[in-house]
Amino acid sequence: MITIWDENVELKIDDRFQVIRSAREAVAFLMKSWPDTKSASYATARKACLDAAKGIVPGAQARAAFEAAAKEAGILRQR
């Protein structure tokens, strides 16, 4: 079951914007498009998003972990 997050996570990489709407989208982004530098928060977000995609943890927990990792990587779009 794909659960859409209550609030999207918006990323900015170079001059492009990307919107992440669910744990599955986050996992895909983490695996294919994440910047080269991968920190502990990246690993935490990856695990949380994988677990949320499997229904093991709440989507809100995965979203928070993904957002924290994106902020640390400098790709979280600041409003």
Ordered per-residue pLDDT tens for the chain, 79 residues: 567 899 999 999 888 999 999 999 999 999 999 998 889 999 999 999 999 999 999 999 999 999 999 999 999 997 6
Question: For residue 26, what pLDDT is reported?
Answer: 97
Question: For residue 2, what pLDDT is reported?
Answer: 66
Radius of gyration of the chain (CA): 11
Q: Report residue 1 as tokens.
A: 């079951």
**Residue 58, by phi and psi: left (phi above 0), alpha (psi -120 to 50) or beta?**
beta
Question: For residue 78, what pLDDT is reported?
Answer: 79
Neighbours of 34 (CB within 10 A): 18
The secondary structure element, H or E, covering residue 19 is strand 16-22
Q: Report residue 7 as tokens.
A: 């609030």
- Give the separation between CA 48 and CA 53, rounded to whole angstroms: 9
